[in-house]
Each structure stands twice: as structure tokens, then as C-alpha cells.
Amino acid sequence: MRIQAILSLLSSAHYVQNYFNDTLNVLNHLGSISPYHRARHQHASEINSELPIDCTVDQVMLMHRHGSRGPIGEQRYIERLIQTLHDATDVIQKVELPHEFEFLRAGYNFSLAPHNLTILGRKELFDHGVEFALKYPHLTTDIILSSDSGRVVESARWFALGFFGLDPDVRIVTVNNTDDPVSWITPAPGPACPKFNYSFGQQATRTWSKHYLPVITDRLNMLLPGVGFTGDDIHGALFACAYDLASLGASPWCGVFRPDELVNFEYERDILMDASCAYMLPDNMSPLVGTVFVNKLIERFTDSQGNSRPLYLEFGHDVTILLALSALGLAKDDPPLSPDELRPGRKFQTSELTPFAANMVWEKFTCTSSYDGPQIRLILNDATMPLTICGQGMDPTLGTCSLDTFVNANHYSTSIRFRDETWNATCGV
């Protein structure tokens, strides 16, 4: 009965219609494996995206996720789907197919290499490099810092080509060549925080998928009797939709699913990331680990070490960005998300926070008359994200706050140091 109640809520025509009328593009709702698109943060529409004319951006810190890639753990579901379709070849050729399944007559193949950056992923990064150069023509650097993951290094190279052109003086350095004891870029702390475990996210998604996958499975088996779809096959079709988009820009599988079914899948992807590396992870672990990024940001913008650069270009993963947002308390839902209940109006929506090629841009700017002293702004995926952590100190028009206010508001982060008592107790070191 509980499942029926949930499905009744999700199938609400009013909710689904409003959900997609607001976005115009259902393909922007595939969680952290969505194609890149400009974000629509909550309350961002009330924010003026242009700084006053008397203000100048003096310093920028970019953290960029890699571009669209092939599947990783999801590959096995797609392969399972292909095997099911292969075993049902005779059935598919004989039955009368609904129009959304006509593509199966010719068969369905999937050949995208796991892990690797796609052609569209390369284009995303090149385009972002060009746009960045046009936005900040007065800022430059001679070094780029990257995670040592192959797809991230390649993303940095494509961005550099767009930003610098064929400039031989730009170096790409990976984090394993730095002296920092713990990196603010790499996707997981590893030995630095042994208790940090992605299995929490996997458990959450298994719980939620039990709510919605059986209903889709039954529906598709009624449309294609004899094929024998399983829940794993349905997962494979959903992932095929996303990864076809990542490689080709279109997928026949996306048209197979109803809007409410994609809403369920999107929520699954959100609780995966929330429980893996954000607010659903126990013991305040994600905010703790995210303090490494926040402290690095504050160190650079306050020039506390006396060696700050005007421009930082750094490349990592979706986890990199989500850990930082967790430490800042941004995109946080109250009460927390649950794998037993879909939250339509949630703040934590990874298709907006960390799609492929997500980019978190921190600006420090000064003004001759509009503000006193240096100010700070966060632009996440081409949209200003209000710095609500500053409380009453946030400018409601621009979503910004003074650097001093920002530093004071982040007293939790600035009170934490790698391997201090709080760190060791939380991480089990």
C-alpha cells in the first residue's frame, strides 16, 4: 500500500506537467550524468547576474568537473539490457511494436568506452575554455591543476586549448605531483578519511529503486510481451538514455520513459550522490572533508600565505564540488532527503549542481563605490548561487557578501585542520 501511495503521488499530472514545463528539457533531469546546461538554482531568478559597473573581478578560482564520459559501474546494466534484447530478437521482430520502440527492429548497439571522455565531453570543455577567456580577459596563469584521472586531465587540456589557444607555456600538473597532504581536488579522501564510504549511496539507491523500478518493468513488459524485461534491464535502458546523450546527443531510449518515470530516476541519482558525498553521509563527514576546499579558497582570497595568484584553473569531479557545497551548507534540505520519499522541491538536485562539465567559479571583486572592501561571489554552472551561508550579510540583489563576512561565516571550516582531533574522530584515523 505504501508503494501505491508513493506512485500515486509521482503520477500526479499536475506535478509532472509543472515540473517539466518549468525546465523545457526533460533531458536535463538525469542527475549527475545529465548533459551540461545552465543551472536554475533556487532563488537564482531573483539575483542580478551582472556586477555593478564600478566593480572589477580581481581574483578567480575555478573548479571544473570533467566533461561527458562513458559509463563506469552502469556499464553492466546496459550490457544486461542488450543481452535481453538479443535473446528476444525473434519476439521483437514478430510483435507489433509501439511507436516508441520501433527502433528495436533494427537492433540496439552500445559501444561507448567506459570511463573515457566523449567527443561531446571534449567540446563542452573547449567551449567553456573559450567562454572563460572572453569573460576574464584580464586574468591569466601559467599552470593548471588536475586530478590524476585520465578523463579529468584530458578535460583540462581541452579547456586549456579553448582558453589559451596553442600556448606552449601552460603546464598541467596533477595532484599527485603536489606537496599537499590531502587534496581538495581528488574525488575521495582515501587514506586521509578511511570511514568515507560510497556504499551509503549505493544502499540508498537500492532502497529507492525498489519503489519505482517494478512499476516501469511491468509497464514495458505489457507493451512488449515476451521480451521479459527485469529491473536491471530498466536500469540499463535509463542509463542508455543518459550515456547515448553523453556520446551522441540523442537517444531512442529517452522517449521510452514517461516524465514521472524520469522524475523517479533523477531522484535516485540525487540520493546516490547525497548519501555518498553530501548531507546524507553520517557523522557530518562530507562537510568535514569539504573544509579542505573551503580553507584553500579562504587562504587564497585572503592571501594569508602571501603567494596568491589572480587565477586558479583546477579540474576534478562532481564529488569535488559536492564536498565543497556541503562544507558551506549550500543546497541543503531540511529535513534531509530520504530514500523512502521523493522530494519534488528539493535543493539538492545534481542535474543543476553537478552535471557533466559542471563548473564552480569563485570570484573576488572590488568596487570603487558600490561596496567597501573585497566581496565574494559563487557562480555555479553559469548561474549565481546565493551565498546564504552569509546570513543577513548576503546582498539580496547579487547573492554576494563581503570577504570578511564570508570568512566569519565559515568558522566551522576554519576551525578544522587536516588530522586534527575533530578530523581523526570523524574519519576514524
Distance CA 9, CA 76 (A): 31
- From 29, 41, 64, 66, the catalytic residue: 66
66 is catalytic: yes
SS3 assignment, position 12: coil
Q: Is-catalytic flag, 99?
A: no
Instruction: Name the residue with cell 598541467.
Output: 172
CB within 8 A of 12, min separation 6: which ones?
260
Q: Record the cell numbers describing residue 75, joined without a space.
A: 556499464
Which long-range contacts link 21-26 to residues 24+ away (Cβ below 8 Å)?
26/254, 26/259, 26/262
Per-position b or e across 259-279, b if 16+ CB within 10 A of its CB: bbbbbbbbbbbbbbbbbbbbb
For residue 137, give the C-alpha cell: 580577459
Specify whether the CB–CB gap between 117 and 155 falls below 8 A: yes
Quote the radius of gyration of the chain (alpha carbons, Å).
23
Task: State the cell numbers at 325.
Answer: 557545497
Burial of 143 from C-beta contacts in 10 A (0-12 / 13-18 / 19+): middle
Quote the CA–CA distance of 92 and 85 in Å, as a whole number.
8
Catalytic residue among 233, 244, 260, 318: 318
DSSP letters along 141-163, please?
-SEEEE-S-HHHHHHHHHHHHHH
Q: Is cis: bond before 335, omega within 30 of 0?
A: yes
- The three cell numbers locating residue 314: 583546477
Say how many C-beta atoms besides its own lie within 10 A of residue 58's C-beta: 15
Residue positions annotated with a catalytic role: 66, 318
